[in-house]
Structure 1
Amino acid sequence: MKNHQYLQLAAILGALAVGIGAFGAHGLKPILEANAKVDTFETAVKYHFYHTIAILILAIWLNIQPEMKKISRVIWSFFVGILIFSGSLYFLSLTGINWLGAITPIGGLFFIYGWLSLIWLSKRKIS
């Protein structure tokens, strides 16, 4: 993926986070309240946003210093984390299918891996 495409990815993820959050607060409120999953949905949106902002910052950094190619590993880890962690929580909160909670931690592991990779890369001067 080219460096500028990471900025586009962050923009798409940010727009989705706003749209999903707004839709959940307004259009899906009766469904979420019926399933008693408002908190679950809000958690999904928060982590979606946090990691989208992290992707945006890393994408900007990568565009400023394109030689830091390994930073893309962190971006992809956060992206997969959003898909699995937030995605499973979105689905769980809308459907009430509780077994999906079993895959949510996998997304959390991708988030943790991304943050730990960032520490490791910073110690190696991100080359």
Structure 2
Amino acid sequence: MMHDRPWWLTTALSGALMVMIGALGAHVLAAELTPRLMAAFETGVRYQAWHTLAMLGVLAWRATLPLPGQRLVLALWAAGMLLFCGSLYGLALSGMDWLGPLTPMGGLLLILGWLTLAGVVLRNRSKA
């Protein structure tokens, strides 16, 4: 587990930030943002929540059965959350439209993480 310490820390911080950002949205921004921007903000929170939970699952799996490719899954999801969720948060909070193109790039990284996870399972059928 010690070699995965940075990933545990990243996952814990993602979870804490997700709760704080979600609370900000629910208690402060709901009355300030347009419905469209609030929906974008909530989408970022939801995707961050699901991918943070998925990272916990992969880390728990690694603790019992470390396999090649699992860390790549974590890296793709972390980068994907940063770009996808971060761009949605930034767009909603600042209105900076230039963040828009980052959202699909982040989404692509999230998808690649899931496909990489499938590859890890398929390559290690006898172990996974």
So what's the TM-score if we normalise by structure 2? 0.88
Residue segments in structure 1 that go unaligned for 5+ positions in a row: none
Whether 2:105 is the aligned partner of 1:106: answer yes
Say which SS state the counterpart of residue 32 (structure 1) adopts: coil
Deviation at 1:101, TM superposition (A): 1.2
Whether 2:15 is the aligned partner of 1:14: answer yes
Within 5 Å, which residues of 2 pair with 1:61-100?
Answer: 61-66=61-66, 68-100=67-99
Alignment-derived partner of residue 58 in structure 2: 58
Alignment-derived partner of residue 3 in structure 1: 4
Alignment-derived partner of residue 26 in structure 2: 25
Q: Sequence identity of aligned pairs in percent?
A: 40
Residue 119 of structure 2 aligns with an amino acid whose one-letter code is W
Deviation at 1:9, TM superposition (A): 1.7
Residue segments in structure 2 that go unaligned for 5+ positions in a row: none
Deviation at 1:96, TM superposition (A): 1.5
Deviation at 1:46, TM superposition (A): 0.4
Alignment-derived partner of residue 45 in structure 2: 45
Report the Cα distance in structure 2 between the residues aligned to 1:32 and 1:125, rounded to whole angstroms.
47
Q: Does structure 2 conserve the Cα–Cα contact (< 8 Å) formed by 1:4 and 1:59? A: no
Structure 1 consecutive aligned stretches of length 4 or more whose deviation exceeds 3 Å: none
Say which SS state the counterpart of residue 30 (structure 1) adopts: coil
Kindly report the root-mean-square deviation, in angstroms, between the aligned alpha carbons of the 2 structures: 1.9
